[in-house]
Amino acid sequence: MAKAATTSTATGYCMKCKTQRQMRGAKPITMKNGRPATEGTCPECGTRMFKIGASK
């Protein structure tokens, strides 16, 4: 049986699609004020997505 690739399953709200989606290319970042966040893109429309808070 083939193993599934391990990818991040970060979800965020896409402002353009107006729905909750899984981020493509999600990566942890630090905002200017020092707070952790996750940044990625919407798989449907390609808009940048953010989720504030530490990734799990």
- pLDDT-above-90 percentage for the chain: 71
- The residue assigned the tokens 């449907």 is 44
Residue 45 near residue 28, CB atoms below 8 Å: no
Domain that holds residue 37: 11-52
In this predicted structure, what is the pLDDT of residue 4? 46
Predicted confidence at residue 30, as pLDDT, reads 94
Q: Based on the structure, what is the number of domains in the chain?
A: 1
Residue 48 lies in a domain: yes
Q: Is residue 8 predicted with pLDDT exceeding 60?
A: no
Catalogue the E-assigned strands of 1-56: 11-14, 19-22, 24-30, 36-41, 48-52
According to DSSP, the β-strands at 36-41 and 48-52 are: antiparallel
Q: How many CA atoms lie within 13 A of 9 on its CB side?
A: 3
Q: Which pLDDT value is given to residue 2?
A: 53
In a domain, 2, yes or no: no
For the entire predicted model, the pTM comes to: 0.72
Q: Does 20 map to a domain?
A: yes
Q: What is the pLDDT of residue 6?
A: 44
Model confidence at 28: pLDDT above 50: yes
